[in-house]
Amino acid sequence: MTHVELPLTIFVVDDEPPARNRIKELLSDCSAQLPVEVIGEAGNGYDALTQLSEIHADIVLVDIRMPQMDGIELAQHLNKLPNPPRIIFTTAYDDYAIKAFELHAVDYLLKPIRLGRLFDALSHVRNAIPMRIQELLELTPEPRKNLSIHERGKIHLIPIQDVLYLRAELKYVTVRTTSHEYLIEESLTALEKEFITRFIRIHRNCLISKDAIEGFEKVVEDKDGESHWTAKLKGLDERLPISRRQQFIVKDFG
């Protein structure tokens, strides 16, 4: 029983043109044994996200060190696509990343890339399941520069410096910026850990941006006259309650 296999569709992301060229040459060398088709390439993460929202690739080859958005962050955003591509990272030299890749059995290729290694990686990753976002987060100590959601067939990026607060509600986390509100499917605890330098917890279910703090107000509850602190954030009318346990924040940031 024979069937004609569709070629693997491949997308290449690297900020250096000769490096992209090298990968494309190697892929065409591969095609004798393994049908592959390069369906696009990008020189940075933003361009890659835009293109990959429109076209589907089976495999994305991603350079780790790129300007503005590194390869690991790109992979995290691509993961939000309904049918996320498999990722193979490429790197010339990056001690930290390589240790993390080995630990999590992530596919990666060392530059200069060898034909044999590329071939093996392609054959292997084709059958692998996509990585989970949590696994991807553990690959780098650097926090993302953007949060992302999949919205109307596109990956929408929310720059982290625009986020005023993150609030957990049921299985989602609300991401609030001055003008919008988004829902993302991530855990508040993981977000707190990732963005520890930028956000502070004011309540069991809420993290606020330290930069956005405008002031604190004491609010008296109407019924039994008990009062509690709330935080006022820049550009928001809403007051966010601070839990009794976190009241030290009023002193530290007030």
| List of residues contacting another protein (CB under 8 A) | 15-22, 25, 44, 65, 67-68, 92-94, 110-113
Q: Closer CB to another protein, residue 43 or residue 130?
A: 43
Identify which of residues 141 and 225 has a Cβ nearer to another protein in the complex: 141
Burial class (CB in 10 A: 0-12, 13-18, 19+), 128: middle
In the complex, minimum distance from the CB of residue 90 to another protein, in angstroms, rounded to a whole number: 9
**Based on CB atoms, which residue is closest to another protein, 19 or 164?**
19
In angstroms, the CA 56 to CA 38 distance is: 11
CB of 65: closest distance to another protein in angstroms?
7
Closer by beta carbon to another protein, 22 or else 232: 22
Give the nearest distance from C-beta 173 to another protein in angstroms: 24
Is residue 98 packed enough to be buried (19+ CB in 10 Å), middle (13-18) or exposed (0-12)?
middle
Structure token digits, residue 95: 């001690």
Least Å distance, CB 123 to another protein, is 22
Q: How far apart are CA 41 and CA 95, in angstroms?
A: 26
User: What is the nearest approach in angstroms of another protein to the Cβ of residue 23?
Assistant: 8
d(CA 3, CA 31): 17
Query: Based on CB atoms, which residue is closest to another protein, 115 or 219?
Result: 115
User: How far is it, in rounded angstroms, from Cα 27 to Cα 94?
Assistant: 24
Tell me whether residue 65 or residue 156 sits nearer to another protein (CB atom): 65
Give which of 129, 108, 113, 122 is closest to 33, Cα–Cα.
Answer: 122
The rounded distance, in Å, linking the Cα atoms of 247 and 240 is 12
CB of 16 to another protein, least distance (A): 5
